[in-house]
Amino acid sequence: MAIQSVGVIGAGQMGNGIAHVFALAGFDVLLSDVSREALDKAISLIDRNIERQVSKGRISSEDKQSALARIKTTLNLPDLGQTDLVIEAATERESVKQAIFEDLQPHLQPHTILTSNTSSISITRLASRTDRPEKFMGFHFMNPVPVMQLVELIRGIATDEATYKALHEVVGKLGKTAASAEDFPAFIVNRILMPMINEAVYTLYEGVGNVRSIDESMKLGANHPMGPLELADFIGLDTCLAIMNVLHDGLADTKYRPCPLLTKYVEAGWLGRKSGRGFYDYRGETPVPTR
């Protein structure tokens, strides 16, 4: 089946990026959220981000206008039932995702493929709560979506080959690269990345180095573009903690135990860039380490 229309659930950081790349690639996009303010903010951000691509000569002004014209918004979740592909990009809480799929299910077309952009939750378990586990997959984009070239494709135990092939083809049309991952906690990228970030927090917690020395060491000593603590702030410390808990609970290995300092920062509401403070304080002109 040729996928032409795409429904995106959630107009936040991931959802607006996903809508952006699909619209630019020629797909019709219906973006849904529970908040009109969030939808308006997302469209404004997509406009600015695509304009940045125009200013760099990567696309034309005509491409921009065509892409924006292909994005529609709705507050009514059932409207997405008429699309060929649904991508859920809501909050990283399983109960929220399950409720969304439950509400959407009665309105879906028989051929509609369901996917989740979850970074760590079991695809098999999410799929089992729907009427089409064979047409359900993990479709994990990296942040920021317009920039990052990788998409993880995660098959649940029931996912059929036709669904996998259809999504693999879609990734190609987006100009991105697909990495196939098995349905185990945190998949590939976060299975490797999050323990590294967690270890950096332990290094801070145990006083081996301060924030700046840890980040500078990994940037200059391992040639990483961002230090692990800076990256944690960019991702969101609550998201990092949630993924570490999924790893710890799902694999029952003490090496995945979240650092108590990471937990403490989340308890304080210091979640990184989005809250103004994390391992760095972003409230001034330049970020300042908080430890």
Supply the residues annotated as catalytic: 119, 140, 152, 190
Q: Which value, to the nearest 10 degrees, does the dihedral of the CA atoms of residues 205, 143, 109, 29 take?
A: 150
Identity at 117, one-letter amino acid code: N
User: By the 8 A CB rule, do 145 and 151 touch?
Assistant: no
Tell me the β-bridge partners of 28: 5
Identity at 29, one-letter amino acid code: V
46, 193, 215, 216, 224 from 221: Cα distances, Å: 35, 17, 10, 8, 8
Place of tokens 């961002």: 226
Quote the DSSP letter at residue 177. Answer: E
